[in-house]
Amino acid sequence: MIGLDDLVDWCESGDFDPSCEDGLAAAAPMLRALSRNRHFLADAAIAELKTRCAEQRRINPYSAQVMLLRPPEGKYVLRAAFWPASSDHVVRMSGTAPFLYHVPHDHGFDFLTIGYLGPGYGSDYYDYDGGVAGAAGEAVRLRFVERSQLGEGQMLLYRANRDIHAQLPPQSMSISLNILASGPGQGWRRQYRFDTDKGAIAECMTVASAQILLELAVGCGSGNALDLAEAFAKGHPQDAMRLTAWQAMGATLNRERQLAHWEQGAGSSSPLIRLASADALQSLHYGDEMACFPVPGTVG
């Protein structure tokens, strides 16, 4: 058994390299040793409550489901995640959506997790090959792995954009402890929701703050923003930002110019822009076809 500071000291040492799966997995003995400490988390929670959770408000970017144990200031993050049962008050009041129960999804980072308290959430586990463009509706080859429970002492390593799970509420309130890899460029890693029946990406669940800022600037009609969007669409290193720029530019155009814009996008070197342009062109052409038919109750 060890304390939280012992785990932090080890994670800060040169022995820990979470930038690869094997390096993250090397933390398993230390995380397991911390999980045997049945008091550290309650002590940390009491200390937070005495200050009205001042430290959590300052450093925690997550929802109330997560208690941050060490903030993302370097190569890793330590956190505790709370998993309420369906009968618990918070689920009865807010529903299951805030906890992603019954939502097949992957993660944009590798992480190691262990069941700390309670029966643990269940999961239907899948995996896929990765290497996707990331467009909604994109087909992926999913492989069902198993259904299992993250009970006390059970440990799992989740691989970024490889492992998928649809979580199921535990029978009673449960807690897991996580070590997350947090390297450079982490903010651009994408997380997806999947349609397991169709074997496809349903949607991207993450948006970088820079994407929102660009949409805001272009939407305000700034010429400088349009110039920046054009530059990003051509050469930004992140395909998601290239798509955001291209869509933001398209939103400023009239219908005739939009058609030319999306036709140009269909030949882009960006996979996301090509797929989005094909969808936009289909929608535009479908609108033209529908305009040829009279609306019921009108005289053509």
The 10s digit of each residue's pLDDT in 173-184 is: 999 999 999 877
Q: 147: part of which helix (H) or strand (E)? A: strand 143-149
Which whole number is the average pLDDT over 112-138?
A: 94
For residue 298, pLDDT over 80 is answered with no
Which whole number is the average pLDDT over 31-54?
A: 95
> pLDDT category, 287, cuts 50, 70, 90?
low
Read out DSSP for 95-135?
-SGGGTBT--B--SS-EEEEEEESS--EEEEEE--------
Neighbours of 82 (CB within 10 A): 18
Give the 3-state secondary structure of residue 298.
coil
Pick 4-96+109-132+142-160+168-189's CATH classification: 3.40.30.10, 3.30.70.2660, 2.60.120.10, 1.10.10.10.
2.60.120.10
Residue 286's pLDDT is what?
65
Residue 291's pLDDT is what?
45
Residue 288's pLDDT is what?
56
Q: What is the pLDDT of the chain when averaged over all its residues?
A: 91
DSSP lists the bridge partners of residue 216 as none
Give just the sign of the alpha carbon dihedral 81, 114, 21, 196. negative
> pLDDT category, 165, cuts 50, 70, 90?
very high
Structure tokens at 288: 């033209």
Instruction: Return the domain boundaries, the chain.
Output: 4-96+109-132+142-160+168-189, 209-291
Is 157:110 a contact under the CB 8 Å cutoff? yes
Read out DSSP for 241-295?
HHHHHHHHHHHTS-HHHHHHHHHHHTT-S-HHHHHHHHHHHHHHHHHHHHHTSPP
Is 209:221 a contact under the CB 8 Å cutoff? no
Residue 131's pLDDT is what?
83
Cα 56 from chain centroid (whole Å): 21
Give the 3-state secondary structure of residue 205.
coil
Read out DSSP for 33-72?
HHHT-SSHHHHHHHHHHHTTTHHHHHH--S-TTEEEEE-S
Q: 32: part of which helix (H) or strand (E)? A: helix 28-35
Structure tokens at 292: 């040829």
For residue 147, pLDDT over 50 is answered with yes
- Residue 165's closest CA among 188, 190, 138, 191? 191
Residue 295's pLDDT is what?
46
Which whole number is the average pLDDT over 96-122?
A: 96
Q: What is the pLDDT of residues 57-68, one digit of tens each?
A: 888 888 889 999
For residue 205, pLDDT over 90 is answered with yes
Measure the CA angle with vertex 286, ends 283 and 290; round to 5°. Answer: 135
200 burial type by CB count under 10 A (0-12 exposed, 13-18 middle, 19+ buried): middle
Could you tell me what percent of the chain has a pLDDT over 70?
Answer: 95
Which whole number is the average pLDDT over 204-226?
A: 92
> pLDDT category, 284, cuts 50, 70, 90?
confident
For residue 236, pLDDT over 80 is answered with yes
> pLDDT category, 293, cuts 50, 70, 90?
very low
Neighbours of 188 (CB within 10 A): 16
Residue 285's pLDDT is what?
72
